[in-house]
Structure 1
Amino acid sequence: MGLKEYIEENILVFDGAMGTMLQKKGLKLGENPELLNIEKPEIIEEIHKEYIDSGANVITTNTFGANELKLKLCNLEVEETIDSAIKIAKKARGEKPVYIALDIGPIGELLEPMGTLSFDYAYEIFKRQVLQGAKSGADVILIETMTDLYEMKAAVLAVKENSDLPVFCTMTFEENRRTFTGCSPEAMSLVLEGLGVDAIGVNCSVGPRQLVGIVSEIAQCTNLPIMVQPNAGLPTLSIGDKTTYDITKEEFATALVEFVDLGVRIVGGCCGTTPDYIEEVCKRVKNKSIIKTKNKPYAAICTPSKVVRIDGVRIIGERINPTGKKLFKEALKNEDIDYILKQAVSQVEAGAHILDVNVGLPEINEEEMMIKVIKEIQGIMDIPLQIDSSDHKAIEAGLRYYNGKPILNSVNGEDKVLNKILPLVKKYGASVVGLTLDERGIPNTAEDRYKIAKKIVDKAIQYGIKKEDVYIDCLVLTASAQQKEVQETLKTLRLVKENLGVKTVLGVSNISFGLPNRELINETFLALALANGLDLPIMNPNANGMIRVIDSYNVLYNYDKDAEIYIKNYAGVTINVTSGNQNKINNINTDEQNGLKYIVIKGLREEAKDATLKLLKEKKELEIVNEYLIPALDEVGEKYEKGEIFLPQLIQAAETVKNAFDVLKKQISKNNSQTISKGKIVLATVKGDIHDIGKNIVKVILENYGYEIIDLGKDVPIEAVVKEANKHSVSLVGLSALMTTTLKSMEETIKALKEDGYKGKVFVGGAVLTEDYAMKIGADYYAKDAKESVEIAKTILG
């Protein structure tokens, strides 16, 4: 029976931890687990057999880190390593009805814009793994332990474009229901379901008790099979100083049965679980019937950290568009990205929920510019985007490199357009705007426009696109030239809403071209359109009158319950009916918008240099650091702590400060006067651990608070940490570990520092750590994230 068919009627049980079992069988600290596929295949085969004997339906290959970047450290080839791993699994399986999953873990480096690894390179890394896995005979591909949705997208595309194998995807969440990079369960569900994966869920993370809320949220967002592979609780210490976990096999199995009752169809174990755990799970679930979730589809788009449900009026900002905008055209020609980013920031602050991105100019390469603008916007804010283009290459580029689920604007009723664009919409899991026109142009009557709308919706459904992902643009014609058609547009809105039940879009300001006092016409037409069923007005959110219409509409149509938002925005406010952006909600004045602190908070990197040079005319270097840069970073840190922004925005703010620091350092060097450094800190990822994403983020943040970082890199020998700490006479050492197998190395490093007479303090961090565990292994401080590391540095170094 095929795997897809099996999970339609049965609970599928995966195996448990590979790393835990390898440790039990003598895996040495720092030894690459994948090396055993070549040098000691009998050990891997024995582990597979133990899991098969425990009742597992699926065994996972020993290839979690079998990508070219990790394998080159031990001179292994991807193809040989994966082929050997699958052969071992096949030998262990024999004739038993057990599936083999090719295990693909994260690459170990951050993708752009947070890091330096390009999306295309990540794709090629995963493609190489997928091709060999398919060739060697894997039954399913498991992409697991991901924290970055963008990296997950690259991996999924590599699977879908290079094999016919089923693909299961799991991400690792923290107790705040976010991944390390800020991705939410709902965003994961929307994006991966759109990309056409076969199962989604969560693995590793924390213990099963802490995953209940996360799994429940996933179960409410998707009807895909859900997969859960928790750790055996949280790491602790037992007699003999070996890493153990705080959940027994009975408690673990009980928790997994509860997940099955929530609708989970695929279960297994991660760190700390053994064949005993899986055997207990099999006993408990063997007679359980699957529960298929029956969630009603809904209209929504997202970035990794923000989901915008289209369940009320949602404003699409129109300003990132060269049509009729001379300055914007010049910005595109000159690749003035900061001008474009300012337009994005301004619209979001004024109330836009979504931003339209149109970069079409004959004089530029639209495909390249679309990619650049999307990446830059997504680098500084988490606003969902509408990709707006008629160029096929630019459309596909935008859909491919967008991180999340976007809207594509647009298709129309022409068969050649529908057949060319809708497959892209389906492949990349986007929503799409359908224009009510065809090869004959825009019909004069509402009835004829409605026929085109129905054709678009029906065609999209034929391609496997959900009706909820189709938004119809009933098209606005100028009242000055086609006055009779205004009512036809409103009538079309009503017909589409009542008969097709899809969301609607209008470019509202088109109505007033050629007329005086355009704001009055726009506002009146917007009110009429909303009353007739408009969901997504494409408009300038800086037009205060338009925002007031929407705020009023939300009260009158019972969207703004108890007029809460309206009262918050307008109580005690005198309405100024002139046009322009008052920015009533944010109340940011012009000086603040041009100031260095504001620039840092918004992550406008290129702006930082000029703003710093301007300040240097009246301020000393350290005054700028203490009065502008540090307060800005503190404010960003507070927003990060509160969950108002996430890792990408935190890094962008730090990088913006770096640009300002570069200017200040040059000035200091020229004057040969002050020093910015507040003290030295040694950072290292411990021996045996080749993951340094977390350590690198801590480095960036600390450097931009003015601390001098001595970065020892990853897989750092214990003696090297001790040597460098003493050599530089530092008062603070930071140690990172991502793998449970290297926690012992962290403990031994701390012990070695103290035995050598190190008088400073040690702070530790990493996904597998808890504060309690950190204290037990002798650390002075536990940093749950980069912001916490700053607070520790302030405490020790000031």
Structure 2
Amino acid sequence: MEIKKILEEKILFFDGAMGTMLQRAGLKRGEIPEILNIEDKDKIINIHKKYIEAGANIITTNTFGANELKLEDIKYSVEEIIDAAVKNAKKASENRDTLVALDIGPIGELLEPMGTLKFEKAYNVFKRQVIQGVKSGADVILIETMADLYEVKAAVLAAKENSKLPVFCTMTFEKDRRTFTGCSILSMIMTLEGLGVDALGVNCSLGPVELEPIVSEILEFSSIPVMVQPNAGLPKMVNGETVYEISKEEFSSIEKRMAEKGARILGGCCGTDDTFIKKVVEEVSKVKPISKNSSKICGVCTPTNPVIIDGVKVIGERINPTGKKLFKEALKNNDIDYIVKQALSQIDAGADILDVNVGLPEINEAEMMIKVVKELQSVIDIPLQIDSNDKNVIEKALRIYNGKAIVNSVNGEEKVLNSILPIVKKYGASVIGLTLDEKGIPLKAEDRFKVAKKIVNKCLEYGISKEDIIIDCLTLTVSAQQKEVVETLKALNMVKNRLKVKTVLGVSNVSFGLPNRELLNSTFLAMALRDGLDLPIVNPNKSEIMNTIYSFKVLNNEDVGGEDYIKLYSNLKPKKDSAIRNVKAIDNKDSNKVSNEETSEDLIKIIIKGIKDKSAIITKELLKNNSELKIVNEYLIPALDIVGKKYEKGDIFLPQLIQSAETVKKAFEVIKEKLILENKDQISRGKIILATVKGDIHDIGKNIVKTVLENYGFTIIDLGKDVPKEEVVKAAKEHNVKLIGLSALMTTTVKSMEETIEALNENNIDCKVFVGGAVLNEDYAEMIKADYYAKDAKEAVEIAEKILC
């Protein structure tokens, strides 16, 4: 029976932790678990059998880290490891009604723009795993313990494009309901449902107590089966051993509650074993499965910013060359900085989504679209609308887009629908349908409605839900087609009320060729909003337009209590239309030159916003009248401090923190070049050694800390991963450092961290040690005699400044 069918009728049980069971079976510190699939297969088979006997319907292969980057230094290939792992699981499940899930964990490196790993490289890493898993006979693909939505997308695409197996996907959330990289619950749901996974959910990081509210939110919004695999509570160190705090009775009791709320797939993660799963099966088997709500979220997202279309949302129109001479020049000159400025100015003015059109005959549109989308999503945090007539451009943009986008657009022509809609469906985007066909734009509202109905029905045929369909009844120019403007509004009202889909209009077309265009635009906008317009495509830098939208939201009960309206307009006198001024300033100067007003204040703003190229230009200007040290101490460090505070408050997330750090790096590079040119001493706030300890091959956290510390002006001596204690001691003596940072991701390597600290003390190294990593906390740090615990990169900076500055 198909898994989808099974999930309609019953609750499925996954196994528990492989690592916990292996440690109890004698796994040595630093030993790679995946090798045991070949070198000690009986041990793996016995663990699988214990979970099957406990009642697991699906067992997970011992392949969590079986990718080419993590296993590059071992004697077995990825294919050999996966083949052995699947066969071991199959062997254990002989004569049993048990399925085998190919386990795929994170690659272990950050993808661009946070790291250096390219999206297509990540895709190929996952593709290799999937292909072998299929060959070896896996029944399901499980993508688990993910923190980065971009990495998840690469993995899901690899699974969907290279197999026909069901795909389950879980991410790891913290207590703040965000993943390590800031991904929100709603963004995960929208993106994964769009990509067509068969089940989604959460695993690891927290125990069932902490995960319960997170699971409740997932259940509220997910339209597909929800999967939950908590840890056995939060880990503690007792007598040098890692102990999880929750009993199997409490664990199973909470999982039962989750099942009663609607969770359909249950299991365990770190700290759980076969006794936990047996208890869960006993408790949850009594629960009658609850049918899922089939309605999807209507919205689009970036990883950290879901935009739910539950009222009027503004689409910014300015990233478009039509009628914009300077924008055309920017595209021809590859001036991405200019385009980023257009994006930022619209966001500052209130845009919720940005339309992105880079189509010019003189350039390669596909290449430019990829470049612009990558740059925009590294700097801004609102969703994009991919605007092109070329299906190749649309697909390339959707493939590398991080989150859920809108496609602008299709129309009523069969060939267009059949060409674009499969792409929209594959990548899980929303789509705009224009009410025109082979005959052009119908004059009457009824005829435009017929085209809209055809588009909606065709979308439904392709499996695109109504929540992802947006209809554009097309704004005509009142100076040339006055009667038809009213027909646009009639058609919009019909579409909204009869077809029950969202609507969009390009507002400014209405006033073309007439004086006082803003008056016509804002009046037409008000009329369209009354008739059901959800997504006005406008220039948000025009105050008349935004005034109309904000006031409509109050009158239409969207801005409850008028809170946003009051904030915006309670102090009108001092408030000036700075957004408009900024745009005019951009439009009337060469964006690669710096005016006299662009001084330190601008540099700080640029660092906060993460505009890398601009920081180098302004730093060069500042160096004409300021010393290198002054720029570092008065501009770069204060800017990073502001970013750090925003990060601590949850106003921004890891991608934005790293982007700002990289922006400072560009400024530092300019300063260093000048110092070298003038034979001056290099600026350094102090030397720090960083290392991931012996037995641990994970260094994502260390690399993030390194990036941020370097851009605060510290010199980093990076010893890499799997570093023996002797090497740390040797480097400490050689470089005479006063601060060392040690990282560990696995509970089994915390002991290595303790031994490294002991070795430093035994060798009388006069330095302080701070520690960090997913398994660490204040108690662990104190127990292993570390001087400081840093929960993230920002705390590492605070420690460094305390010790070295």
TM-score by length of 1: 0.97
Amino acid at match of 1:467: K
Query: 1:77-226 residue pairs with structure 2 within 5 A?
Result: 77-226=77-226
Q: Distance in 1 between matches of 2:771 and 2:162?
A: 40
TM-score (norm: length of structure 2): 0.96
Q: Distance in 2 between matches of 1:130 and 1:62?
A: 14
Query: What is aligned with 1:370?
Result: 369
1:778 matches 2:785 = yes
Q: Distance in 1 between matches of 2:251 and 2:765?
A: 41
1:215-614 alignment runs, 5 A limit: 215-239=215-239, 241-294=240-293, 296-574=295-573, 581=580, 591=598, 595-614=602-621
Q: CA RMSD in A?
A: 1.7
**Structure 1 residues 323-364: Cα deviation after superposition (integer angstroms, max 9, x where no partner):** 111111111111111111111111101110000000111111
Asked whether the 8 Å contact 2:599–2:622 carries over to 1, the reply is: no
Change (3 A) 1:755 1:245: farther
Deviation at 1:751, TM superposition (A): 2.4
Distance in 2 (alpha carbons) for counterparts of 1:172 and 1:739: 15
SS at match of 1:396: helix
Q: Name which of 768, 771, 785 aligns with 1:764.
A: 771
- How many Å apart are 1:168 and its aligned residue? 0.5
- Aligned partners of 2:732, 2:393: CA distance in 1, in Å? 51
Task: Report the secondary structure of 1:73's partner residue.
Answer: coil
Q: Which moved more, 1:357-366 or 1:567-576?
A: 567-576
Q: Which moved more, 1:392-401 or 1:734-743?
A: 734-743
Q: Residue 720 of structure 2 is aligned with which of 709, 713, 733?
A: 713
Q: Distance in 1 between matches of 2:534 and 2:787?
A: 54
Conserved in 2, the CA contact under 8 Å of 1:168 and 1:198? Answer: yes
Give yes or no for the alignment of 1:664 onto 2:671: yes
* Worse-superposed segment, 537-546 or 29-38: 29-38
Q: Report the CA distance between 1:699 and its aligned residue.
A: 0.4
Within 2, Cα distance between the matches of 1:705 and 1:793?
10
Give a deviation string over 1:627-664, Cα, whole Å, max 9, x none: 11011101111111111111111111111100100111
Which deviations, in whole Å up to 9, do the C-alpha atoms of 1:200-246 show, x marking residues without a partner?
0111111111111211111111121111111111121223x121211
The Cα shift of 1:63 comes to 0.6
Question: Do residues 746 (structure 1) and 750 (structure 2) align?
Answer: no
State the alpha-carbon separation in 2 of the partners of residues 758 and 780 from structure 1.
13
Partner of 2:66: 66
Corresponding position of 2:693: 686
Q: 1:751 to 1:792 in 2, by over 3 A?
A: same
Partner of 2:591: none
CA 1:579–1:733: 2 relative to 1, 3 Å: closer
**Are 1:380 and 1:603, in contact at CA under 8 Å, matched by a contact in 2?**
yes
CA positional deviation for 1:674 = 4.6
Amino acid at match of 2:183: C
Partner residue, 2:589: none
SS in 2 for 1:65: coil
In structure 2, what is the Cα distance between the partners aligned to 1:499 and 1:2?
36
Q: Distance in 2 between matches of 1:141 and 1:211?
A: 23
What is the distance in 2 between the residues matched to 1:75 and 1:19? 21
Change (3 A) 1:23 1:503: same
Q: Which amino acid aligns with 2:739?
A: L
CA gap 1:298/1:94 in 2 versus in 1, 3 angstroms: closer
Equivalent position SS for 1:183:
coil
Matched letter for residue 231 of structure 1: N
Q: CA–CA distance in 2 between the matches of 1:9 and 1:424? A: 32
C-alpha deviation, 1:75, in angstroms: 2.7
Correspondence for 1:25? 25
Percent identity, please. 65
Q: CA deviation at 1:385?
A: 0.4
Segment of structure 1 superposing worse, 356-365 or 766-775: 766-775
Distance (Å, rounded) in 1 between the aligned partners of 2:680 and 2:151: 45
Residues 1:699 and 2:697 are matched in the alignment: no
Query: In the alignment, residue 355 of structure 1 is paired with which amino acid?
Result: L
Bigger mean CA deviation after superposition, 145-154 or 288-297: 288-297
Whole-Å separation in 1 of the counterparts to 2:252 and 2:575: 63
Contact 1:234 1:770 in 2 (8 A): no
Q: Match of 1:72, SS?
A: coil
Q: Distance in 2 between matches of 1:592 and 1:60?
A: 57
In the TM superposition, 1:621-660 aligns within 5 A as 621-660=628-667
- Kindly provide the CA deviation profile for residues 739-762 of structure 1, in whole angstroms up to 9, marking residues without a partner as x: 223222222222222232233221
* Correspondence for 2:6: 6
d(CA) in 2 for partners of 1:760, 1:261: 54
Give the drift of 1:93: 1.2
* Matched letter for residue 158 of structure 2: A
Cα deviation, residue 594, structure 1:
7.4
Mapped to 1, the partners of 2:521 and 2:72 lie a distance apart of: 61
Deviations 1:265-298 (A, max 9, x none): 1111111111121122122112221123326433
**Aligned mates of 2:483, 2:643 — CA distance in 1:** 52
CA 1:288–1:578: 2 relative to 1, 3 Å: closer
Q: What is the aligned residue count?
A: 793
**How far did residue 580 of structure 1 move?**
6.7
CA distance in 2, matches of 1:393, 1:516: 39
Q: Matched residues in 2 for 1:544 and 1:108: separation? A: 47
Letter in 1 for 2:66: A
Letter in 1 for 2:415: K
Greater mean deviation of Cα atoms: 566-575 or 641-650:
566-575
SS at 2:723 equivalent: coil
Comparing 6-15 with 150-159, greater Cα deviation is found at 6-15
* Partner SS state of residue 69, structure 1: coil
Distance of 1:164 and 1:606 partners within structure 2: 43
Q: d(CA) in 2 for partners of 1:208 and 1:744?
A: 26
Distance between the aligned counterparts of 1:574 and 1:592, measured in 2?
27
Per-residue deviation, residues 595-615 of structure 1 (Å, max 9, x unmatched): 211111111111111100100
Q: Is the 8 A contact 1:20 1:741 kept in 2?
A: no
Question: Displacement, 1:578?
Answer: 8.7
Residues 19 and 741 in structure 1, CA contact (< 8 A), matched pair in contact too: no
Classify 1:592/1:567 alpha carbon distance in 2 versus 1 (closer, same or farther; 3 Å).
Answer: farther
Give structure 2 stretches of 5+ with no counterpart: 584-595
CA distance in 2, matches of 1:408, 1:742: 47
| Cα drift, residue 31 of structure 1 | 1.5
TM-fit CA distance, 1:764:
1.2
The one-letter code matched in structure 2 to 1:469 is D
Give the 3 Å change call, closer, same or farther, for CA 187–630 of structure 1 in structure 2: same
Q: Is the 8 A contact 1:505 1:534 kept in 2?
A: yes
